[in-house]
Structure 1
Amino acid sequence: MVKNAATSQPDDRRRPREAMGSHGSRHGHGLRSEAASRRQTWRLNGDEPNDAQDPEAGSWAATSSSPSPPSSSSWPRPTTASTSATAAASTPPSSSSQARRDADDLAALGHAQALTRKFSMWSMLALAFCVLGTWTTCAQGLNNGLVNGGPVAILWGLVLVALCNTCVALSLGELCSSMPTALGQAYWIARLAHGHVLGRFASYLCAWINTFGWWTLAASQIAFMSDFVLAMRTMFLDDAAAAASPWPGWVRFLVYLAITLLFTLFNLAACRRQSVLPAFNNFVGVFFVALFVVFVVALPAAVARNPRLAFQRASFVFGQWLNRTGWPDAVVWFLGLVQGAYGLTAFDSVIHMVEEIPAPRRNAPRTMYLAVICGALSGFLFMVVCLFCIQDIERLLSPPSGFPFIEITQSTVGLYGGAVLIALFIVNGLGQGVSILTSASRLTWSFARDGGIPFGPFFAHVDTKWQVPARALWLQAVLIGLVGLLYLFANTVLQAILSVSTIALTISYAMPIMVLVLVGRDRMPPREFSTGRLGPLINGVSLVYCAVTTVFFFFPSRPNPSPGDMNYAIAVFGVMLVVALGFWVVQGRVTFMQIAPEVDQVLYEDSQDSARPVLQPQHSAGKVSGGKEAVKGLSVFAGDDDSRQVP
C-alpha cells in the first residue's frame, strides 16, 4: 500500500469509493477531494504546502514497491517504481515539498516516480548541450556543407536552422511544461487527440519514429567516433599509403562494438550513485566548452604564426557559394541545411530526461531553448574559425582521412599538434556519446512502460540495485550493435541508417505540434511556460521548417545518381514504418496506452479569483491483480461543461 511519505497515513486513493463521492463514473462528478484540490491549487500558484495546512501533503508519492509493472494493459499504468516513498526525499536538487509536487504531477499523468530527480537544471543543460554538440557535429559533417553550398550554406544555413529550431524548441517546451513525461511527443499526441479514432495510432507511430531516431542517432555518434579513431592512423601516412591500406570492415565493426559496450556499461554503473551521472555530465560540459576555446584559439594562432599559411578572405568565409552536386542552386541550399540540422537535432533529450529533474514544468523548457541557442552560437563561431583557416579547398573536398576537419587541423597546427587536438576531440565525442545513450535509454524505457515495445513490462523494469532501466539499456545496446554488423557487408545501407536520425527526429517534433494546431491551443493543459500570443506563429514556423527540410533531406546527393550515390534513407525509413505497423497490428493496438474504465480525473475548473484554470486531480479506486488498488489512468475535462471531453 502506498503510504504518506511524511505521516505514514494511507493515501486517499485507498479510501472506499463511497467516501470519494456518490458518483463513480469516469467523468468523476462528485469525486472531488477537497484536500487534493487545495494541494493542486497551491502547486499551480507556487505556494509551499505544509503538513499544518494540509495533513495529506506528500501522500501522492505515487511510488510502488513492485519491481515490475502490473500485467494489466491499462494506460496510463503505474510505472515500474523500484523505490519507495524515499525517492522524493532523495532528490538532491529540490526541497521535499518540490519533490512532492513533482511526484504529484507525474502521478496525475499516470505514472509513479521510478527514477530519482538527480539532475539540476545546469547539469541537464550540460547534458543537452553535449548531446547537441553543435560545433563538433558541424566539424564532423563539414564535407557535406562544403559541397552543398559551401561557406554560405554552412554559416547562413546554420543561422536559419537555429532560428527555426528555436521555434521548435519553444513549441515542444510549452507542451513539455503542460505534460512533463519521458515519452514526450507520443504522450502529448495521445493526450491532445484523446477520443479521436486515430489518436492512439498516431501516438504509437510517433513513439516508434522518435525511438528509431534516437537509436540511429546513438549509432551515428558511435560510428563517427569509430571512424575518427581509425582515421588518426592516416595522419601519419602519406596519401598513397593511406589510400592503399584502408581499414577492413571487421576492424571497424570491432571498434564500433567496443565503443557501444563502453557507453552502455558506463550508463549502467554511473547511476549506482546518484551524484555520478550529473557530475559526469557537468565535467563533459566543462570539457566541451574548454576544448571549444582551445580549437578557436589554436587554429587561427597557428595560421598567424606560420608564414607559409594564410587566412581565407572574408568574402570567401561569409559569401562564397560552392555547388559540386549538379542540383540547381535552390535545391542545394536546402541540402546544405543538413549539416546545421544535424548539429541542432536532439534537443528533446531534455524531454526524455524530464522525470529526473526537479520542477520540470519550469526547468525543461528553459533547458531546451538555452541548449539550442548555446549550440547555435558555438557552432557559428567555430565554423567561422574553420573557414578562415582553410588552406587548400580542393584537398579538403577529398581528404585522405575522409574528414575535412582532420585535414584543417593537421594543415594548420601540424602533425603532432593536430594529433593531440584530434585525440582530445575523440575523448570529447566519447563523452557526448554517453549522454546520447543516456537520453535514448530513457525514451526506450518510457516507450516500454506505456506498452509500446514487445515485452514492455520486462523492458520497463527499473533495477533497484543499479537505479537505472538496465534492461532498456541492454535492449538498445543490442540493437545498436546489430547496426554495426553492416560494416562487414553493406556499408551503403549502414550510411543510410546512420543518416536517417535527423529525419526521424524532425518528424517526431512536427507530429505533436501539428496535432496541437489541429485541435487548438486551448486544448493544452495548464503550464508554467507559455509562448503566449506568439504561440500560433511559432508553431507555424516550426511546422513549415520541419516539412520542408524533411522532404529535401530525402534527396540523393546528385541528380540521376548511380546506386552508390543514392540516398537510401527513405527506404530505411519506410522499413521502419512497416515494422511499426506490424507491431501495432500484433501488439500495440492492444497494449499501448490503453485507458482503463476507472481513471484518475483531471478537471479544468474556472476559478472565481483567476481566469487561469485550476488543474485538479481526482482519484478513483482501481483494481489490479491480487486485489490491490492502483492508479489506472486519467481523463481530462474542460470548462463548465464536464460532459465535453478534452485531452
Structure 2
Amino acid sequence: MTEKIDRSEQRLRELGYKQELKRELTSFTNFSVSFSIVSILTGLTSLYGTALNSGGPAVIIWGWVFVSIMSMCVAASMAEICSSYPTSGGLYYWSSKLAGEHGPFYAWITGWWNLLGQFGCTAGIDFGLALLLSSVISLKTGWMYERWHVVLIYFAILIIHGLINTFLVRYIAAMNTASVWVHIGGVIIILVSILVKTPNKASASFVFTHFINNTGWSSTVYVVLLGLLQSQFTMTGYDASAHMTEETMNADVAGPVGIMMAVGVSFVAGLGYLLALTFGIQDIDRVLNSETGNPIVQIFMESVGDTGALLLLIILLLAQFFCGSASVTANSRMIYAFSRDGAMPGSKYFHQIHPTLKSPVWGVWLSCFVSALLGLLYLIHATAFSAITSIATIGLYISYGLPTFCRITYSRNTFEDGPISLGRFSFPIGVISCVWIVIITVLFVLPGASPVTAENMNWTVVIVAAAAIFIFGNWYFNARHWFKGPVANIDIEEQQHIPGDKMDIDEKVTAVGKQEIE
C-alpha cells in the first residue's frame, strides 16, 4: 500500500504538480504572510503626505473605507478561485484553467503583470523603509541625506531581505507571526499614545470632512480619485496567500481564508491608524511643510515629543522591515512557479529549490535584483517613488482581475467550486471587481499635479506602456508559438503506475493523486 499523503498534497498532484516545497504553514501563518505584505504601517505611512495634499483628511478616512470595500470584492473573487486551484502559480494558473482554449494567452499576461506588480511592490516597500530610516537618522543626528544615500540604504535592506529568504527559511513563518503582532500592537500603541498625549487634537469635523487640494487641479472628483492612491497601494499583496499554498496545510481553505482575512483585518487596523494620525494633526500647515520632510514624523514629534516619536517610529521601521521580507518571500514563490512552467528566461535556474536550504534561491535574488533596478529611478527624479507604488498597484490588480474576468466569462457555468464558494454572489462580485480594476488602472497613470511638467510628470504611464509592449509583443512574436500554459511535473515513473496510455495529463495526475491517497 502506498503511503498516505496530506489532502493538500493530493490536490496539488491532481493539478499536475509534485510536492517540492516543505508544507508546514498553518492557516494563521499563511494569513500572516499576506497581512505582512499589505502592511498598513507601510503603505499608509509612505503615502500619507501624498494623500494629505490630494484630498486631505476627508479623502484619507473615507477613501480608506471605500477602497477596503472594493478590495474585499476583489479578494473574495480571488479566494473562491484559490479554493479550487491551490498552487504557488496562483493567478496565472487560474487564468490558464478558466479561459479554456485561450488559457495560454491569459496565463502569459496574468503571470507577467503579476511579476511586474510584485517587483514594484517589493521595491515600494523597501524604498519606503529606506526613506523613513533616512528621516529617523536625520532626526536624531541632523544628517542631511541626499538621494544617493537613500538608494544605498535601500540596496542594503534588499540584501538583508535576500539573505533572510536564502538562509533563514525555517524562521520565516515565525517572522511573519511576529509581524502580525507588531502591526496590531503597533496600531494600538500609536492610537493610545496620540489620543492621550496630543495636547490639541484635531476636531471630528476636521478629521471626517476637511478637504485639501494642493494638486493644482480644479476638479474635486479628480482630486478625490488621486487621493485613493494611498489606500489602494496599501491594499495590495494579499495574493501572497495563494502563492504560499504549496507550503500550507489544508491549502484549499487556508489560502482563500488568508486572502480575505488579510483585507478584513487590515481594514480595521488601518482605520485605527489613520484616525490616530489625523486626530494628531495640530497645525496642518506645519505638517504639510515639515522640516523633517515626513508629515508623520512631524505628527509624532508634536504629539508625544522627540523621544516618544522615536519609539513610535521604531515600531513603523520594524513593521516595514517584516513587510519587505514577506514581499521577497511571495515574489520568489511566484518566480519559482512561473519558471517551473518555462515562462521566464532562465527558467531552468529559477524553478530550482535548493536541496539544503529549501528555498528558491535564484528566485529570491532575482526579486532583489529587479527591485534594486527600479530603485535606481530615484536617482533620476524624486517622483520615482510614486511611480514605483503606482506600478505595484497597476501590475498586481491587472493580474487580480484577469482570472476573475475568465471566471465570470469563459467558466461561468463550468467552474467547479472548492470548499470556499461565493455561490450566487460570485458573478455580481466578480463584475464589481473587474470594473473597479479598470478604473484604478486608468487612474494611476494620470498626472497627479497641474500644470504637468517634466518635474511632476507621472512616469508610471511610460513604464506601464513599456511593460505592455514587452508582454503583448513577446506573446505575439514569440511565446504564442510555444507557451502552452502550466506544465504538469508529476514524475514519469509515477505516471507509469496509471493504467491506460490514452489519458490526457490532467486525467493522469488525477489518477496519481487518487491512487496514492488510497
Same fold (TM over 0.5): yes
Shift of 1:495: 4.5
Query: Partners of 1:587 and 1:620 in 2: how far apart?
Result: 37
Is the Cα–Cα contact under 8 Å of residues 598 and 620 in structure 1 kept in the other structure? no
1:311 to 2:201 alignment? yes
Query: Partners of 1:248 and 1:104 in 2: how far apart?
Result: 54
Give the residue type in structure 1 aligned to 2:177: N
Shift of 1:489: 3.8
* Cα distance per residue 1:88-143 (max 9 Å; x no partner): xxxxxxxxx5x1x2122111111111101111001122222111112442122111
Give the residue type in structure 2 aligned to 1:289: I
In structure 2, relative to structure 1, the CA distance for the partners of 1:489 and 1:316 (3 Å cut) is closer
1:151 to 2:57 alignment? yes
The aligned residue for residue 211 of structure 2 is 321
Q: More deviation in 153-162 or 412-421?
A: 412-421
* Cα distance per residue 1:120-172 (max 9 Å; x no partner): 00112222211111244212211121122111111111111111111111100
Alignment partner for residue 251 of structure 1, among 133, 149, 154? 149
Shift of 1:355: 0.9
Is the Cα–Cα contact under 8 Å of residues 186 and 512 in structure 1 kept in the other structure? yes
The aligned residue for residue 634 of structure 1 is 506
Alignment partner for residue 352 of structure 1, among 230, 237, 243? 243
Is the Cα–Cα contact under 8 Å of residues 13 and 490 in structure 2 kept in the other structure? no
Listed as ranges, the matches of 1:90-169 within 5 Å are 97=5, 99=6, 101-169=7-75
Is the Cα–Cα contact under 8 Å of residues 177 and 362 in structure 1 kept in the other structure? yes
Alignment partner for residue 138 of structure 2, among 231, 234, 238? 234
> Where do 4+ consecutive residues of structure 1 move more than 4 Å?
490-495, 594-600, 618-623
The aligned residue for residue 513 of structure 2 is none
Shift of 1:249: 3.3
Q: Which of the two has greater helix per residue?
A: 2
In structure 2, relative to structure 1, the CA distance for the partners of 1:297 and 1:175 (3 Å cut) is same
Give the residue type in structure 1 aligned to 2:138: T
In structure 2, relative to structure 1, the CA distance for the partners of 1:635 and 1:501 (3 Å cut) is farther
Give the residue type in structure 1 aligned to 2:51: G
Is the Cα–Cα contact under 8 Å of residues 162 and 364 in structure 2 kept in the other structure? yes
Is the Cα–Cα contact under 8 Å of residues 599 and 634 in structure 1 kept in the other structure? no
The aligned residue for residue 392 of structure 1 is 283
What secondary structure sits across from 2:260 in the alignment? helix
* Cα distance per residue 1:453-480 (max 9 Å; x no partner): 1121221001110011111111222212
The aligned residue for residue 201 of structure 1 is 105
What secondary structure sits across from 1:195 in the alignment? helix
Alignment partner for residue 454 of structure 1, among 333, 345, 348? 345
Higher relative contact order (CA 8 A, sep 6+): 2
Alignment partner for residue 324 of structure 2, among 433, 437, 440? 433
In structure 2, relative to structure 1, the CA distance for the partners of 1:127 and 1:598 (3 Å cut) is closer
Shift of 1:497: 3.2
Is the Cα–Cα contact under 8 Å of residues 148 and 379 in structure 2 kept in the other structure? yes
Alignment partner for residue 507 of structure 1, among 398, 412, 415? 398
Alignment partner for residue 197 of structure 2, among 278, 302, 318? 302
Structure 1 alignment gaps of length 5 or more:
7-57, 59-96, 304-308, 601-617, 624-630, 637-647
The aligned residue for residue 292 of structure 1 is 187
What secondary structure sits across from 1:414 in the alignment? helix
Shift of 1:634: 2.2
Give the residue type in structure 2 aligned to 1:221: I
Query: Partners of 2:203 and 2:291 in 1: how far apart?
Result: 25
Query: Partners of 1:491 and 1:145 in 2: how far apart?
Result: 17
Shift of 1:521: 2.0
Is the Cα–Cα contact under 8 Å of residues 174 and 530 in structure 1 kept in the other structure? yes
Query: Partners of 2:180 and 2:79 in 1: how far apart?
Result: 22
Shift of 1:590: 4.8
Is the Cα–Cα contact under 8 Å of residues 18 and 490 in structure 2 kept in the other structure? no
Query: Partners of 1:182 and 1:592 in 2: how far apart?
Result: 19
Shift of 1:592: 3.2
1:517 to 2:389 alignment? no
What secondary structure sits across from 2:101 in the alignment? coil
In structure 2, relative to structure 1, the CA distance for the partners of 1:123 and 1:301 (3 Å cut) is same
* Cα distance per residue 1:373-400 (max 9 Å; x no partner): 1000111111111111101101222222
Q: Identity over the aligned pairs, expressed in percent?
A: 27
Is the Cα–Cα contact under 8 Å of residues 454 and 587 in structure 1 kept in the other structure? no
Query: Partners of 1:127 and 1:526 in 2: how far apart?
Result: 25
Is the Cα–Cα contact under 8 Å of residues 140 and 405 in structure 1 kept in the other structure? no
In structure 2, relative to structure 1, the CA distance for the partners of 1:492 and 1:288 (3 Å cut) is closer
Is the Cα–Cα contact under 8 Å of residues 110 and 632 in structure 1 kept in the other structure? no
Shift of 1:635: 6.6
* Cα distance per residue 1:329-388 (max 9 Å; x no partner): 111121111111112111101111111111111111111111101000111111111111
What secondary structure sits across from 1:400 in the alignment? coil
Query: Partners of 2:314 and 2:488 in 1: how far apart?
Result: 58
1:263 to 2:263 alignment? no
Alignment partner for residue 580 of structure 1, among 465, 471, 484? 471
Listed as ranges, the matches of 1:360-439 within 5 Å are 360-439=251-330
The aligned residue for residue 278 of structure 1 is 173
Is the Cα–Cα contact under 8 Å of residues 16 and 488 in structure 2 kept in the other structure? no
Cα RMSD of the aligned pairs, angstroms, is 2.5
Is the Cα–Cα contact under 8 Å of residues 158 and 372 in structure 2 kept in the other structure? yes
The aligned residue for residue 438 of structure 2 is 547
Query: Partners of 1:590 and 1:500 in 2: how far apart?
Result: 29
Structure 2 alignment gaps of length 5 or more:
492-496, 509-518
* Cα distance per residue 1:52-72 (max 9 Å; x no partner): xxxxxx3xxxxxxxxxxxxxx
Shift of 1:414: 0.8
Give the residue type in structure 2 aligned to 1:366: V
Is the Cα–Cα contact under 8 Å of residues 96 and 486 in structure 2 kept in the other structure? no
Alignment coverage as a number of residue pairs: 502
TM-score, structure 1 normalization: 0.73
Query: Partners of 2:81 and 2:209 in 1: how far apart?
Result: 38
Give the residue type in structure 1 aligned to 2:207: V
Query: Partners of 1:154 and 1:597 in 2: how far apart?
Result: 46
Query: Partners of 2:498 and 2:414 in 1: how far apart?
Result: 22
In structure 2, relative to structure 1, the CA distance for the partners of 1:277 and 1:5 (3 Å cut) is farther
Is the Cα–Cα contact under 8 Å of residues 451 and 591 in structure 1 kept in the other structure? no
The aligned residue for residue 515 of structure 2 is none
Query: Partners of 1:340 and 1:169 in 2: how far apart?
Result: 15
Query: Partners of 2:499 and 2:295 in 1: how far apart?
Result: 62
Give the residue type in structure 2 aligned to 1:297: V
Shift of 1:591: 4.8
Q: Which has the larger radius of gyration?
A: 1
Shift of 1:520: 3.8
Listed as ranges, the matches of 1:32-51 within 5 Å are none
Give the residue type in structure 2 aligned to 1:257: F
In structure 2, relative to structure 1, the CA distance for the partners of 1:147 and 1:141 (3 Å cut) is same
Query: Partners of 1:213 and 1:536 in 2: how far apart?
Result: 26
Give the residue type in structure 2 aligned to 1:322: I
* Cα distance per residue 1:267-319 (max 9 Å; x no partner): 11122x4xx2212211222222222211111111111xxxxx30111111111
